[in-house]
Structure 1
Amino acid sequence: MLRRSGVGILGGLLLFAAFEPIALPWLLPFGVACFAWALRDLSAPRAGLIGLCFGVSFYFTHIYWMSESIGTDAWLALAGIEAAFYGVLGALAPLLRRLPAWPLWMAAAWATMETVRSGWPFSGMPWGRLAFASIDTPAAPAVAWAGMTGLSFLLALLGFTLAAVAEDRARLRICAVVATLAVLVLPALLSYDVEESGKATVAVVQGNVPGPGNNILYDPLGVTENHVAATVDLATRVEQGDSPAPDFVLWPENSTASDPFSDSEVNAGIQRAVDAIRVPVVVGGMVSEGYDHVLNQGIVWDPVSGPGERYTKHHPVPYGEYIPFRDIWDPEFGQLALISRDMKSGTRTDPLDIAGIPVADAICFDVAYDDVMPAQVRDGAELLVVQTSNASFINTFQIEQQFAITRLRAIEAGRWLTVASTNGRTGVIDPDGSVVATAGIRTTAVLVEEVGLSTGLTPAMWLGPWPTRLLMMMTLGALAAGVVAYRRQRENDTDPLPERIEEPEGA
């Protein structure tokens, strides 16, 4: 068991290295293969323990940035919960490995596990899905065909097939070739391009955060003023002919950390910026919802009609932006003392109308969830925007992890995407995931870029949640088949030997 545990831990570390900050995605299938190899021929309890070792070594390192930004208590709790999912997958592996073509069923189970932990408990935590490590690899274009869950399935299939080949090279060599072609070759050859139906010019503002840069509340009014000043400066350059006029301006999440409707100084600053640029500004604001709740919103602020359409963040972070079961906790314990009001979840699935352009919005961690941007694209969004703060994570590798996910969303939807951050990382991304423009970390910058608009749908957008549902059904069916196979084997193992019939003498 000690050797198996070591292999499981090694696999988790290899998977960690596939993501930012190391970003060696070619290690991903080897990490998954180590997971599979360490589990072979083990009972369910022992396999579950090995899976947990894998999960601990992967997830505690993968989100170590949380200990540096949110707090050690939150990091330990969240990483521990997420690591347990790999333990559950490990415990189920003996049922799946006894089936023919077991890499297929294990890959489906891996994708299903990622789906479950991305939505539960509470709002889940999608960080660490295999698909999120695939940017800048030949596999990335597959996300336009199969979505994030489908791409995770293909990458897991590659890893499990690698393990199967190591166990029985002769029998599964052809399978390895097929899996490699499916994951690495075909997506690169058959990338899906959505035809552009129009153009727009977008200004993306990164105003910067005063002070140490990792705390919006250090000087919240200063954050807003930075974005106002950058927008007014852009308006001056437009008037002088030094910059093209944008169709709209995008500000980041927390560009107003206080309620822009009740804080007169913040409200006046926004209006000054909008009056200067004379086009809608999408403001990121914290809007009060009664005494005990707050909404994290993207607000379309029109130069004529004022604040209009709003997108509300769908997935607030538990114990970071709201407190589940608040009544049972000591309000002065750890991070809980900093969260006096619970953030409510949004439900909007139709795009925002910004200067006549249907735009899909996502706020911060929303970009990692499959139910936010894809739903808006299917409802007619022609352009994607992400509003994020990331100030709390400014000195960590979370920023690059989130930016990689953001780039994959552009490929998945076949849309241009602009992302505004308070102090990093702001950028403009084209539909193949390439970064067209980006701003430096902890700088004040305005990116003005012409972007394409598209109305067509990629296969991933057209299929919606069906690949996920199919993989979940495959997993349940395979587990049922595994139980049947296990029972049959037990029955065969416990059947008494047939009694020996003695032949009569002289026969």
Structure 2
Amino acid sequence: MSTLQPAPAPAGAVTAPPRGPRPLPRWASVVLALAAGAGLLLSFPPYDLWWLAPVSVALLAAAAHRRRLRAGFGVGMLAGLVLFVPLLDWTHIAAGWLPWMLLSLAQAGYLGLLGLATAWLSPLVDRFRAAWPWVAGLLWVTQEALRDRAPFGGFPWGRLAFAAQDAPALRLAVLGGAPLVTFALAAAGGALVALAWQAVSSWRGRTPAVGDRDPRAWLGAAGFAVAAAALLAGPAFVPTAAPASQTRTVAIVQGNVPRLGLDFNAQRAAVLLNHVRATERLAAEVRAGGKPQPALVIWPENSSDIDPLRDQDAAQKIAGAANAIGVPILVGTVLRGDVPGEIRNAGVLWMPVTGPDLAQLYVKRHPVPFAEYMPMRPIARLVSTKVDLVQNMLAGSTPGVIRTEAATIGDVICFEVAYDGIVRDTVTGGAQILAVQTNNATFNEAEARQQLAMVRLRAVEHGREALMVSTVGVSAFAGPDGRVHASTGFNVDAVVLRDMRVGGPRTLATRLGQWPELALVALTLLVLAGAVPLRRRRRNSDMIDAQGKTEER
């Protein structure tokens, strides 16, 4: 009995690239996209299930693989909505539901582009299955690079790297910053989906020349399993920056914000008074021997919403606190401009006896669009009735390098901690410790904990001890190994002291700056362009298949 063999392809015939399993049914892609978005959400604080990040990358890659470009965009967009709508729900507390929805839609659109790019590269990963991890890592880094910058300076919330606060991959920040951490987690996800694809191909016997018992199939699966394990666990062996030898005692003051029974002006005065009184109580405990003398005190953003350079009463209160504690206080304040409605969000160093040192003043460089200043105000009025309540916050032009006798502080304000370059500029400018002054009073604890995860990454990235001080919490210190120390509660008043190590050598990530990210983005563009001939071959093959079926009929 003879066995029929397929006829060899004629010379010059178009040969299709190897195909993986068929595209998933539409319903299965939708389910995987929903699961991917939910997994990404749970990987971030306050849930902190970081291991779900690479799993979610794998699910989204599988959902978009071999789909049409429009369908790839759709599944990415769906995953993005499931992620960003709940992740950013704290924005509606201050801005209302419509701005919250618009921001979530805009952020989800970038995951839509990621899904589209995944679909575009399907012929490439079908032909070179070992490319799956690299493709996933490159696409996620590029998506985040774009989202971090556009529009209006970008909005980096929800980067994979910010889910890695308890993951071994966090240590990679010392080598290549947040982009390298994102790359590792996404590449691990790519290895997981390649492992699953390899297993399905082997089970179905669809891989060319590979049957159910062909050892090459299992060797390929083992290789992807090892790659995923190495990407997830391997970074644990990357050493963090060596700690500095000198220490300084730093106090952070979380004065809390009264919420009931006060009008706007009375509340501003009460917030300032809370921070003054907390500092004066600390001074009394120091004099009594109950607490060590700090070398520096740091107050949060908006601890004085009353401009102390123009309001004599506010200035006297801050001066009283500085004189009582006997050391400089870095005060988060709002400075009024000469033009009505113009303000600056600033950190100013207030010295005992002599008062504000205006040579050591940092003005926030990246005000938040639509919250601290209003682009396209006439159009924005159609979206929210609160538009005209937003004043025009002017951006600063110099990095937040505050020099004191105790230490040189790298100061950033609130959301600025999410931007790689703004933090790095303080370290290249000489910062020995990192300080994030923030005001979470109009948000919630989830937002504060998401922000603290960013502080932890920055401490590892630059090999500097860091702190976050908030009006209401969460306030904490973070070491260059990423560990959190002395974290406070939320909606409480607290004063925390810690001996912080100051200085240390610059890390590789600090020295390289944005070059690792630029290199990964450039590779992504090359890979996207390299898929063009493969897509043409796939299209020609589909046309030949369709023609053959027509002739058979």
Alignment TM class, shorter chain as reference: over 0.9
Mapped pair 1:477 → 2:507: no
What's the secondary structure of 1:196's corresponding residue?
coil
Q: Distance in 2 between matches of 1:216 and 1:390?
A: 17
8 A contact 1:194–1:458 mirrored in 2: no
What's the secondary structure of 1:123's corresponding residue?
coil
Q: Give the length in aligned residue pairs.
A: 495
Q: What's the offset of the Cα at 1:294?
A: 1.1
List per-residue Cα deviations over 1:199-227 (Å, max 9, x = no partner): 11111101111125999866000000111
Match of 2:198 in 1: 168
Q: What's the offset of the Cα at 1:477?
A: 0.7
Q: What's the offset of the Cα at 1:288?
A: 1.5
Q: Report the RMSD for the aligned CA atoms in angstroms.
A: 2.3
Q: Distance in 1 between matches of 2:47 and 2:82?
A: 15
Match of 2:375 among 306, 324, 328: 324
Match of 1:338 among 383, 389, 399: 389
Sort the Cα spacing of 1:291 and 1:451 in 2 relative to 1 into closer, same or farther, 3 A.
same
Match of 1:109 in 2: 139
Q: Which amino acid aligns with 1:207?
A: G
List per-residue Cα deviations over 1:36-91 (Å, max 9, x = no partner): 11112111111111111111111112112222443211110100000011111111
What's the secondary structure of 1:139's corresponding residue?
helix
What's the secondary structure of 1:296's corresponding residue?
strand
Q: TM-score, normalised by structure 1?
A: 0.92
8 A contact 1:331–1:337 mirrored in 2: no
Match of 2:301 in 1: 253
Q: Which amino acid aligns with 1:223?
A: V
Match of 1:453 in 2: 502
Q: Distance in 1 between matches of 2:317 and 2:470?
A: 19
Match of 1:466 in 2: 515
Q: Distance in 2 between matches of 1:74 and 1:27?
A: 28
Q: Distance in 1 between matches of 2:277 and 2:367?
A: 29
Match of 2:436 among 381, 386, 389: 386
Mapped pair 1:400 → 2:449: yes
Q: Distance in 1 between matches of 2:157 and 2:487?
A: 23
Sort the Cα spacing of 1:496 and 1:408 in 2 relative to 1 into closer, same or farther, 3 A.
closer
Q: Which amino acid aligns with 1:322?
A: Y
Q: What's the offset of the Cα at 1:313?
A: 1.6
Match of 2:365 in 1: 314
8 A contact 1:215–1:392 mirrored in 2: no
Mapped pair 1:224 → 2:249: no
Q: What's the offset of the Cα at 1:285?
A: 0.4
Q: Which amino acid aligns with 2:472?
A: N
Q: Superposed, which structure 2 residues align to 1:40-439 within 5 Å?
A: 40-99=65-124, 100=128, 101-169=131-199, 170=217, 171-181=220-230, 183-212=231-260, 219-289=267-337, 290-308=339-357, 309-330=360-381, 333-339=384-390, 341-349=391-399, 351-394=401-444, 396-439=445-488
What's the secondary structure of 2:502's corresponding residue?
strand
8 A contact 2:319–2:353 mirrored in 1: no
Q: What's the offset of the Cα at 1:240?
A: 2.1
Q: Distance in 1 between matches of 2:281 and 2:541?
A: 80
Q: Distance in 1 between matches of 2:456 and 2:145?
A: 20
Q: Distance in 2 between matches of 1:107 and 1:56?
A: 21
Identical positions, percent: 36
8 A contact 1:69–1:393 mirrored in 2: yes
Q: What's the offset of the Cα at 1:180?
A: 2.2
Q: Distance in 2 between matches of 1:195 and 1:75?
A: 41
Q: Distance in 1 between matches of 2:425 and 2:477?
A: 21
Q: Distance in 2 between matches of 1:418 and 1:213?
A: 32
Q: Which amino acid aligns with 1:315?
A: H
Q: What's the offset of the Cα at 1:421?
A: 0.8
Q: Distance in 2 between matches of 1:119 and 1:214?
A: 39
Q: Distance in 2 between matches of 1:463 and 1:156?
A: 21
Q: Distance in 2 between matches of 1:295 and 1:446?
A: 26
Q: What's the offset of the Cα at 1:475?
A: 0.8
8 A contact 1:318–1:324 mirrored in 2: yes
Unpaired stretches in structure 2, ≥5 consecutive residues: 1-25, 200-216, 547-553
Q: Distance in 1 between matches of 2:262 and 2:222?
A: 51
Q: Which amino acid aligns with 1:351?
A: V
Q: Which amino acid aligns with 1:444?
A: D
Q: Which moved more, 1:165-174 or 1:146-155?
A: 165-174
Sort the Cα spacing of 1:215 and 1:148 in 2 relative to 1 into closer, same or farther, 3 A.
farther
